[in-house]
């Protein structure tokens, strides 16, 4: 087994254990919200690092992706 596979397995197991711990402590909602916020932030940074996409289009796309605004045709 390669180092990358071991590392990936450890991160996945840590995420699952964190979910179990949050469910046990009653903070699962916070954890889900933080994970969604992190995913959205990563999406903004990835799209903006493209340099061809203006920031206002990235933010508009994020709002459509999260369902905060309806997609206009």
Q: What is the pLDDT of residue 40?
A: 84
Q: Give the closest residue to 66 by CA, choosing from 23, 19, 26, 33.
A: 33
What is the pTM assigned to this prediction? 0.53
The confidence score (pLDDT) of residue 44 equals: 77
- Report pLDDT for 73: 47
For 49-72, what is the mean pLDDT?
A: 59
Calculate ∠ Cα 43-53-56, nearest 5°: 80
Span 3-54, pLDDT tens digits: 999 999 999 999 999 999 999 999 999 998 898 888 888 887 777 676 665 5
Domain ranges of the chain: 3-66
């Amino acid at each position: 087994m390669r180092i990358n596979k071991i590392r990936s397995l450890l991160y996945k197991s840590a995420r699952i254990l964190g979910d179990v711990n949050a469910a046990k402590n009653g903070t699962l909602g916070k954890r889900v919200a933080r994970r969604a916020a992190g995913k959205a932030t990563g999406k903004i940074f990835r799209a903006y690092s493209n340099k061809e996409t203006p920031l206002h289009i990235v933010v508009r796309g994020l709002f459509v992706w999260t369902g905060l605004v309806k997609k206009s045709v």
